[in-house]
């Protein structure tokens, strides 16, 4: 009898990257925004030894403060302030206390580069895919100014009019995935940054408040950080400060 060949069939051998051809399968080229996102996230996963910590926070007081701010009338009343803008302002205050996280790593020089200014990226979902516009000099802005810039950049993102300069140069990213109705996540760092804060949805939940069980507005906050730039104590301190500001917005007044 004739010996059977152990060589894979031509059809299987021709399948790229070991992915067998499947009847009716659709192949979508990784190009454009999707391709750019894929490349950047793959590079982040390959190069950055990341870790994630998270905490649940009672956002009831923050929501009350926001409602009071937006209810103001008269000459002092300004544009409405979003929850994202308040969280962004909290992030800039936290980065002032923990500058280790406003950094990048120069792998060739084997140096941690701490950055002097905060250029805050925020994740924005569009019909073309995920983009991360950057609020320049966020550390010099108040919540109202940050909110106005977020609104402006978001509109440009939705209409596909963001320039490359508006999508690059970020030093820290805020990802509000709560808008998709999810509670938590382990975000992938936006390379070459050193950290990203993730924010889940704010939901009414049972919570012990002042020794009594009550229904409060609770949010999960998660911080993914580059373990090369700091250890868990610094990352935990940053996240705890953010949570303290969410739970007691008066804490933030110390830095205004």
Confidence of residue 106 (pLDDT cuts 50, 70, 90): very high
What mean pLDDT value characterizes the chain?
90
The answer, yes or no, to whether residue 33 has pLDDT greater than 90, is no
Superfamily of chain region 51-253: Chloramphenicol acetyltransferase-like domain (3.30.559.10)
CA distances to 63, 100, 160, 213 from 208, rounded to whole Å, are: 18, 33, 45, 4
Contact 154, 88 (CB under 8 A): no
Q: How many helices (H) and strands (E) does the chain have?
A: 7, 11
Output the CA torsion 137→87→150→187 (10° steps): 90
CA distances to 56, 60, 112, 184 from 226, rounded to whole Å, are: 21, 31, 11, 19
Give domain limits for the chain: 51-253
* Coil/strand/helix, residue 216: strand
Confidence of residue 34 (pLDDT cuts 50, 70, 90): confident
pTM of the predicted model as reported, rounded to 2 decimal places: 0.87
- CA pair distance 170, 190, nearest whole angstrom: 9
List pLDDT tens digits, range 57-87: 999 999 999 999 899 867 767 788 999 999 9
- 178, burial (CB in 10 Å: exposed 0-12, middle 13-18, buried 19+): buried
Confidence of residue 18 (pLDDT cuts 50, 70, 90): low
**Average pLDDT score over residue span 97-116:** 98
List pLDDT tens digits, range 222-239: 999 999 999 999 999 999
Residues identified as active-site: 227, 231
Confidence of residue 56 (pLDDT cuts 50, 70, 90): very high
- Measured in degrees and rounded to the nearest 5, phi and psi for residue 253 equal -60, -25
**Average pLDDT score over residue span 115-129:** 93
Residue 253: per-residue pLDDT: 75
Residue 72: per-residue pLDDT: 82
The answer, yes or no, to whether residue 193 has pLDDT greater than 70, is yes
Long-range CB pairs of 32-36 (<8 Å, 24+ gap) are: 32/128, 32/129, 33/126, 33/128, 33/129, 33/130, 33/131, 34/129
- CA pair distance 226, 191, nearest whole angstrom: 10
Confidence of residue 15 (pLDDT cuts 50, 70, 90): low
Confidence of residue 16 (pLDDT cuts 50, 70, 90): low
């Amino acid at each position: 009898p004739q010996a059977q060949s152990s060589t894979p069939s031509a059809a299987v051998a021709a399948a790229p990257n070991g992915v067998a051809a499947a009847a009716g399968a659709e192949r979508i080229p990784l190009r454009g925004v999707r391709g750019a996102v894929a490349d950047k996230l793959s590079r982040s996963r390959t190069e950055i030894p990341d870790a994630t910590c998270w905490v649940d926070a009672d956002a009831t007081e923050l929501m009350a403060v926001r409602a009071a701010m937006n209810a103001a009338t008269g000459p002092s009343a300004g544009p409405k302030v979003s929850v994202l803008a308040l969280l962004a302002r909290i992030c800039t205050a936290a980065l002032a206390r923990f500058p280790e996280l406003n950094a990048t790593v120069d792998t060739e020089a084997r140096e941690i580069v701490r950055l002097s200014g905060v250029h805050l990226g925020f994740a924005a979902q569009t019909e073309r895919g995920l983009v991360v516009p950057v609020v320049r000099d966020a550390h010099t802005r108040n919540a109202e100014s940050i909110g106005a810039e977020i609104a402006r950049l978001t509109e440009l993102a939705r209409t596909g009019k963001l320039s490359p300069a508006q999508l690059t140069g970020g030093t820290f990213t805020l990802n509000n995935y709560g808008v998709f109705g999810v509670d938590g996540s382990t975000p992938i760092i936006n390379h070459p940054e050193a950290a990203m804060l993730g924010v889940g949805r704010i939901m009414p939940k049972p919570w012990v408040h002042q020794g009594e069980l009550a229904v409060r507005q609770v949010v999960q906050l998660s911080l993914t950080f580059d373990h090369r730039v700091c250890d868990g104590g610094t990352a935990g301190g940053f996240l705890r400060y953010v949570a303290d500001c969410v739970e007691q917005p008066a804490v933030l007044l110390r830095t205004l």
